[in-house]
Structure 1
Amino acid sequence: MATAAAPADDRPLKRPANPNFSSGPCAKRPGWSPAALSDALVGRSHRSGPGKKKLAELIERTRAILGVPADYRIGIVPASDTGAVEMAMWSMLGARGVDMLAWESFGAGWVTDAVKQLKLDDCRLIEADYGLLPDLSTVDPDRDCVFTWNGTTSGVRVPDGDWIADDREGLTICDATSAAFAMPLPWDKLDVVTWSWQKVLGGEGAHGMLVLSPRAVERLESYSPDRPLPKIFRMTKGGKLNEGIWKGETINTPSMLAVEDCLDALKWAETVGGLDGMIARSEGNLNAIEAWVHRADWIEFLPSDPATRSSTSICLKLSDACPLEGEARETAPKRIAKLLEDEAVAFDVNGYRDAPPGLRIWGGATVERSDIEALTPWLDWAYARVAGA
């Protein structure tokens, strides 16, 4: 961790208690310490009785907090959210045409997989630039649909699930990695949902969660794609769903330290009011940023529509009122982020490398609103330094 520089007269007096504002891995829950992992089954098999119990507990706590329907399967899978989305795409797509929605880099990555790797014959792209949503009314309910609920690198989320037809024939495959536990998800509209522990829960990387509706299970059992599937993608045996995966019998070996850490985060989520409490904490962080942006004339949201602004990956850009031009404007966010890091006030707040130049501040439920409010004067301070350089 960087060492805080000596104070100067123009520096704000208050500092965030936790300077971790990264959009992944994200801040640990308030009060976390390695002691939270003291009950981890290190050195024990995940297939042992206690190991299976831990994994099953993680699944059931997840179900209870998120309100996942009883007939939906929940599995712990390899390779974080990326692995979960890949499992769904490689195993299910190709049975019918698919609409691929993309308005930021991760959604664009799923487009690349569908077009260049899976080489799907009937793949329609529905795209929009950073800061915008595509026209959701053009999605065809007779086709499968792959989309991110919350665009982590653009700060743009879908406002709701009303655009998804109740009588759809296709499957909806939703990458919800920056949305789960911070935004309400309409389970009846979603057939495949994925996320990772490292986002809103503040857990560790490498493990993903995969939720399947009964319609998604039917697709797996009725459709065999004309492509080889690696072992870690296979969810069926003999044409039937491998039920063990959805009971905690993971495809490959999970880290029992990471499992313990996720259980700790889920238990903490219960203490702050469960899903409603987690959503309120995240929305409160967005409200704090909105109040600051309203006061500051040099910065604005990348997404202009308040209904689509993310409460987790909060993305900002320099406003038209900012006098910086050319290279100075292009490099300003990076220089602001570096100043804040040097002061040990905020880490990892530069925008994503593929996004337009800007700042990205994580506002998930593990971040305290008081830390967001302490950060905003420092953002003004850093901008003043950069603009006056």
Structure 2
Amino acid sequence: MPNKPNVKPERPWFSAGPTAKRPGWSSQALNHDLLGRGIRAPEVVARFAHGLTLTRELLQVPEDWVLVYLPGSDTGAVEAALWSMLGERPVQVLAFENFGQVWATDIRDHLKLEPEVIEGPWGQWPDVSGIDPAKDLVFPWNGTTAGVKAPNADWIADDREGLVICDATSAAFAMALPWDKLDVVTFSFQKALGGEAGLGVAAMSPRAVERLDRYAPPRAVPKVLRLRTGTPSDPAGHLPQNGGGEGFDRALASGSMINTFSVWTLEDWIDAVEWGLAIGGLDALIARTDANAAALDAWVQKTAWVDYLAEDPATRSTTSVCLKIVDERVAALDGSAQHALVLKIKALLEAEGAAFDVESHRNAPAGLRIWCGCTVETADVEALTPWLDWAFEAALAE
């Protein structure tokens, strides 16, 4: 067995969600005053509204956009946009990792639409030359399961007619987002800022709100995904003539909740956002993320047994960094044996308390996934890498 490194990460949490808590986090720092209060109490609604205000400030969301909470983390936020907005126009979906495939499947099988799915192999950004500005578009900005991110937004038309729905859960607070190119941006508490799971946020442009006001989708929308008031339209998408009131439910933008949300989870989110603002805002969060990714990159560049899953440096994620094992001893193994080796590496690291949750997503190629977002300390990334070398050789030696 190889010798173990001498130094362990002080905070060995590298999961891609929920991610590491902010440095210095303590449950005692959270506001306990409203725990046990009714979710519709004015003080509770005001606190939820305050969370949206802070989120807007930290993420630098344009003033004419609205933000709403959705149940079900980022998944719920994306699904709410899909169910409440799609159907007026043809739909294109970028599917270059697991969740792009999920959105495409849901649009086809559950919304009963016929999306054009533009696929890319694992590790590659898809060919976006065929993106049609007359169609709605759904895509993840950063593929959490593939470690592939959008290189830019130049391929999205400024004068588009369709809506652009962007799953940004592993990009928000860690990468600059081109708000003028997007119409719905979704994320969850549990990703870039280390919040608790269960709540998602959808930020919506005036164009997205206009779609909700004007278009009633010809389907029943489950209550927890319902962004608009009124009843389903007829199959042609015409608004129901039942006395008005249909359209975007504007109460959601003022801190009101679709169902009962966790006040504790909200307080934990406010704590994370306040930390982000206190250390310098969005620019500081991006800089911390970039420093972590650079520390990991320094190791990847000098390590023969590992390489990035994302082939093009311009599309490599700085948050959900996905790595493939390229050692010839592993390449000779079949897929199941490779996955088994990754699980051995994971078990060895966790038994030592050196790193937790660094295995690739269950639907991704066998490999490692290291979260490098802003709540991770660069020193811990640097301390992690010798342990990865140790665990790899130890797993092969077993």
The alignment's TM-score, normalised by the length of structure 2, stands at 0.93
Structure 1: runs of 5 or more not aligned: 1-7
Match of 2:177?
Answer: 185
- Tell me if 1:294 matches 2:288: no
Contact 1:298 1:322 in 2 (8 A): no
Aligned AA (2:77): A
**Cα offset for 1:387?**
2.6
- Tell me if 1:132 matches 2:139: no
Match of 2:238?
Answer: none
**Cα offset for 1:332?**
2.2
Contact 1:59 1:248 in 2 (8 A): yes
Contact 1:204 1:258 in 2 (8 A): yes
| Deviation sequence 1:89-136 (CA, Å, 0-9, x none) | 011111000101111111100011011111104x21100111011112
1:262 aligned to which of 265, 269, 272: 269
2:129 is paired with a residue of what secondary structure?
Answer: helix
Measure the CA separation in 2 of the matches of 1:136 and 1:41. 48
2:11 is paired with a residue of what secondary structure?
Answer: coil
Aligned AA (1:364): G
Structure 2: runs of 5 or more not aligned: 230-244
Measure the CA separation in 2 of the matches of 1:329 and 1:42. 46
Counterpart mapping for 1:241-260 below 5 A: 241-260=248-267
2:388 is paired with a residue of what secondary structure?
Answer: helix
**Cα offset for 1:240?**
2.7
Match of 1:385?
Answer: 394
1:207 aligned to which of 196, 199, 205: 199
Measure the CA separation in 1 of the matches of 2:17 and 2:339. 24
Match of 2:5?
Answer: 12
**Cα offset for 1:233?**
2.0
**Cα offset for 1:148?**
0.2
Measure the CA separation in 1 of the matches of 2:266 and 2:385. 34
**Cα offset for 1:47?**
2.1
Contact 2:9 2:380 in 1 (8 A): yes
Match of 1:146?
Answer: 138
Aligned AA (2:299): W
**Cα offset for 1:342?**
0.9
Counterpart mapping for 1:212-361 below 5 A: 212-237=204-229, 238-319=245-326, 325-327=332-334, 328-361=337-370
% identity of equivalent residues: 51
| Deviation sequence 1:174-233 (CA, Å, 0-9, x none) | 000111100111111110110000000100011000111110111111111111111122
Distance 1:129 1:214, change over 3 A: same
Match of 2:39?
Answer: 46
Distance 1:318 1:40, change over 3 A: farther
Aligned AA (1:162): D
**Cα offset for 1:330?**
4.4
**Cα offset for 1:279?**
0.6
What root-mean-square deviation, in Å, do the aligned CA atoms of Structure 1 and Structure 2 show?
1.4
Contact 1:285 1:364 in 2 (8 A): yes
